[in-house]
Amino acid sequence: MKRYALVLMIFSSLFSQQSAQKTIGTIHRHDALADELIPAEARIEVLAQGFDWSEGPVWVKQERVLLFNDIPQNTTWQWHETQGLSIFLRPAGYAIGTQPPGKELGSNGLAVHPQTGRIIFCDHGNRCVAELYTDYWVKRILVSQYNGKRLNSPNDLVIRSDGHIYFTDPPYGLKGPDYPGKELEFNGVYHLTPQGQLNLITTELDRPNGIALSPDEKTLYVANSGKKKIWLAFDITETGTATNGRLFFDATPISEQGKRGGCDGMAVDNQGNLWATGPGGVLVITPDARHIATIETGVATSNCCFGGENGNELYITADMYLCRVKGVARGTQF
């Protein structure tokens, strides 16, 4: 009954929001450049609400829909401008057995494979990265182990145009840091080649989280949502190898001001600016690491992506909300 009540609540809230055009939060501009990326009339629209923890948004251009996850409810949702909200996949993650690894059983980060068009999942509950075959509504596991040991709970991913996949693997999907089923001693960032070879990029982050590529696909950005609220940058070679890891931006001072949220998911626009969820909401950061704006939702903000007909709409998952800011800079895939 709880699931049906949740569905009714979300659909009811969606209807009321469409008629009332509910907005939340505030957009702060810290630099004049922000005015070129975010129009003066921009607002944070609420498209739907009532989720336990919304995450992993991805825009599917062919269908003109947004997919995103409610991880605790083990559900992938689909949102369409005119058709509204509907269930895309449930269960979205863990489905078999009586001993689930933790409370976050659903999937997290989502991506559309640039070559096959299939949806690629960071499957928290099943501790793997998988692709969905919608013809049969089954998942095929792409990777679930490193050196013979099970991954922790893949969190977020990004796919290069030639099929190289980069993903993070913190322990958020497990039953705490001392869960005996945690087989790896570290929380890693990985590179999966199109041939299926899994390479470890780094173990230096205690909670690697969001991940993104620059428009030229030569820089990889990785967020850390643990003790250090930071983003790292890596150089990407033509063969896909990540090298020269370095600090890109430190959000610790913002967190120390009492702003809610950690460094989580992110998107990159076609000018190379990061739209990175972190303390306070979505931080807009230039390629030379200047923090020029904050889209402050007022709640812990998990992730964002570009979408819409022209790619100039920013969709944001923030705690119980699905939100949108119209008219912003255009995403890299548009």
The whole-number pLDDT of residue 209 equals 98
The whole-number pLDDT of residue 143 equals 98
DSSP 203-225: ---SSEEEEEE-TTS-EEEEEEE
In the numeric block, which tokens belong to residue 248?
Answer: 């890109």
Does a cis peptide bond (omega within 30 degrees of 0) precede residue 91? yes
Residue 15 confidence (pLDDT) above 50: no
Q: What phi and psi values does residue 102 have, to the nearest 5 degrees? A: -175, -170
The whole-number pLDDT of residue 226 equals 92
Outline where DSSP puts E strands in 237-273: 242-250, 266-268
Residue 12 confidence (pLDDT) above 60: no
In the numeric block, which tokens belong to residue 325?
Answer: 């800011």
Cα–Cα distances in angstroms (integers) from residue 189 to residues 172, 275, 276, in the given order: 14, 20, 18
Q: How far apart are CA 206 and CA 186, in angstroms?
A: 8
pLDDT digits (tens, 9 = 90+) for 216-261: 999 999 999 999 999 999 999 999 999 999 999 999 999 999 898 9
Q: How far apart are CA 135 and CA 227, in angstroms?
A: 43
pLDDT digits (tens, 9 = 90+) for 46-83: 999 999 999 999 999 999 999 999 999 999 999 999 99
Q: What phi and psi values does residue 163 have, to the nearest 5 degrees? A: 100, 0
Domains for the chain: give ranges and CATH numbers. 2-326 (2.120.10.30)
Residue with tokens 């250090």: 228
Torsion of CA 196, 120, 114, 282, to 10 degrees: -120
Tally of CB atoms within 10 A around 271: 14
* pTM score of the predicted model: 0.93
Identify the bridge partners of residue 305 per DSSP, sorted by sequence position. 315
Residue with tokens 């099929």: 163
The whole-number pLDDT of residue 98 equals 64
pLDDT digits (tens, 9 = 90+) for 263-317: 999 999 999 999 999 999 999 999 999 999 999 999 999 999 999 999 999 999 9
Q: How far apart are CA 74 and CA 59, in angstroms?
A: 19
Contacts of 252 (CB under 8 A, 6+ apart): 228, 229, 230
The whole-number pLDDT of residue 20 equals 59
Task: Judge whether 189 and 207 are in contact, CB under 8 Å.
Answer: no
Q: How far apart are CA 77 and CA 55, in angstroms?
A: 10
Tally of CB atoms within 10 A around 135: 6
Task: Judge whether 292 and 274 are in contact, CB under 8 Å.
Answer: no
Task: Judge whether 261 and 280 are in contact, CB under 8 Å.
Answer: yes
